[in-house]
Chain A
Amino acid sequence: MNKLKIPAVLVLAYLVLPLAVNGNDYVVSLIVAALTIGGIALAWSMLGNLGGMVSFGHAAFFGIGSYASALLTIKAGWPVLVSMLFAGLVAAASSIATMPALRLRGPYFALSILAYAEIFRIIATEWKGLTGGAAGILSIPRLPEIMGIDLGGKIGGYFVVVTLVIAMVGIYAVIRRSPQGLALKAMHDSEDATRVVGVNATMLKALMLVVSAFFAGLMGAFNAHYINFLEPDYAFSGSWTTLAIVAAIFGGYRTLWGPLIGALVVYLVDQLVFKAILPQGHQIILGALLGAMVLFSPTGLTPLIAKLTRLQRKETANAAH
């Protein structure tokens, strides 16, 4: 069963879904937005699940990635895909500035990261010579055309973002299985118990913050070249963090696929269903849905589905006997 999961996901992502929505640019752009949020949710969950750190400031890394890639392509003339990768590294490097916050725990860490996000937003606004200030950056280069596929188009953008998030899931899976990943997971509940067996908790948490920032920055870079426009209030908007947190918690932030599934479900249901029912203030239904999920399945949607599937199998087996 497990062996079939990866090919099934790839077929679904690269064949079934594009064919199913072909021609409907609106739905494709919604899926791209959902996957972008899913990518940030995944980056956020890495930090939350491995290391037990709740960040309210991932918008900072997303925004830095956006600006870095946009500026590298416009001012330095770098190719878009190379700039995107480098922008991830810039976001990762910027996370070093936030590392003093690792001395804090729980809500104190969360709030200090939020403060860092605000600092980066102010820098982007005020450093007019580099970023264009509040007016932002227009005409950011589109994603290129590769092997006849225009990655700058809706469906091309979809292929790029789906490749990015699948690669992120793969890397996340490798990290989770590594001794460092196991130690980080263990640290979530008892940091002292892991420290006394020789785990350098601070170093591992710092590494996880760097990886998480890299992924958030990469998503920001993709988004900049997908929408071709940036301004500080958009790139550093707190919504990038809150939507990602909602998606991760809804989908199950301690699972591998939960944040992505959460983002797809939450964003698409909100945009396609709730918005039709309640055009103004549709987010209130989303909030109620999240509240219900936390009440009835605090571990999220993915573990709930796994639990229901197990129950179903058990019932089927009992009926067969």
Chain B
Amino acid sequence: MLHINGLTVTFGGLVAVSDVTFDMREGEVLGLVGPNGAGKTTLFNAICGLARPGSGTVELMGKNLLSMPIHHRARAGIGRAFQVPQPMHELTVRENLTVAQRFGAGKVDKAKIEELLDVLKLGHKADMDAATSLALTEQKALEVGKALATEPKLLMLDEVLAGLETTGKRAFLDTLEEVRKRYRLSVMIVEHDIETITRMCPRVLVLNFGRLIADGSPDQVFNDPEVIRSYTGGEPA
């Protein structure tokens, strides 16, 4: 479904993502891990259009994403949730979802919005100001909700569990699992918590200094000597 080939992103002299190549199947849940500064968010940005790659290709369902502006990528099936929730200010929770649906999915389907509010447990705050009325878990849910409202094929979650306490994290993971199954989504998730990655993702990619250094099951990659070295501060092999 997603084919990334030789993707490289540089900022001045810094190579943030270096010659990354991998494929992702439809319905797959893919974990993306790596130390801070490994290039995970930059890779996400390159896929959804917020960073411009110097070289390489990104294809989703046969469509070349790199030739599309950011707003077309949402229509092509890319749904992105940010690490720091970015609710649309001065808009209610329902309006946030409506804007995302109207522009991302190209339609207004009120029933679908109500369904999302229900699944994400935001119904009781639907008409409240999104920027000032939501607890952190609810802000995270709205962040995912905006991405879901665009009716994505690939849901990209960038550390959406960061900052949540254990109970909240478990509940949120259950919600994510429910939406994944309900909407038959492929999911790519950046996450630091190994337990979460192990629970959610049958396949994990590891980035270090922008390079893809491991690709396999959680058991395989977390026992890989290079991965261990990358987390303990060693130079890349």
List A residues at the B interface (Cβ < 8 Å).
179, 182-183, 185-186, 188-190, 192-201, 254
Contact = CB atoms under 8 A, between A and B. Distances in A.
A180 B143 CA distance: 20
Q: Which 5 A-B pairs have the closest CB atoms?
A: A186-B88, A198-B74, A198-B104, A193-B86, A198-B103
Q: Is the interface of B mostly helix, strand, loop or mixed?
A: helix
B89 A199 contact: no
Contacts of B99: 179, 182-183, 186, 194, 197, 199
Given A194-B99, A197-B149, A200-B69, A179 B108 contact: yes
A285 to B, nearest CB: 32
A197 B95 CA distance: 13
B25 interface: no
A53 to B, nearest CB: 16
Nearest to A184: B99
Given A196-B70, A197-B100, A198-B150, A182 B50 contact: no
Nearest to A181: B99
Interface in B45-101: 48-50, 69-75, 78, 80, 82, 86, 88-91, 95-96, 98-100
B91 A179 contact: no
Interface in B137-181: 146-147, 149-150
A189 B103 contact: no
Contacts of B88: 182-183, 185-186, 189-190, 193-194
A179 B99 CA distance: 6
Interface string B120-149: 000000000001000000000000001101
A189 B49 CA distance: 19
22 contacts: A179-B103, A185-B89, A185-B91, A186-B89, A186-B99, A189-B88, A189-B131, A193-B88, A194-B103, A196-B49, A196-B80, A197-B74, A197-B99, A197-B146, A198-B71, A198-B72, A198-B74, A198-B104, A198-B150, A199-B71, A201-B71, A254-B90
B102 interface: yes
A88 to B, nearest CB: 28
Interface of B: 48-50, 69-75, 78, 80, 82, 86, 88-91, 95-96, 98-100, 102-106, 108, 131, 146-147, 149-150
Contacts of A194: 88, 99, 103
Nearest to B156: A196
A183 B149 CA distance: 14
B90 A185 contact: yes
A4 to B, nearest CB: 22
A192 B45 CA distance: 10
Contact of B147 (A190, A195, A197): A197
Contact of A195 (B71, B90, B91, B98): B71
Contacts of B102: 179, 183
B91 to A, nearest CB: 6
Contacts of A198: 71-72, 74-75, 100, 103-106, 150
A67 B187 CA distance: 58
Contacts of B106: 198
A200 B104 CA distance: 10
B174 to A, nearest CB: 24
Contacts of A182: 88, 91, 95, 98-99
Nearest to A185: B90
B144 to A, nearest CB: 12
A185 B89 CA distance: 7
A197 B100 CA distance: 5
Nearest to B73: A196
Contacts of A196: 48-50, 70, 73-74, 78, 80
B50 A188 contact: no
Given A183-B88, A198-B72, 20 more contacts: A182-B91, A182-B99, A183-B99, A183-B102, A185-B91, A186-B88, A186-B91, A186-B99, A189-B89, A192-B50, A192-B86, A193-B86, A195-B50, A196-B80, A197-B74, A197-B99, A197-B100, A197-B150, A198-B71, A198-B105
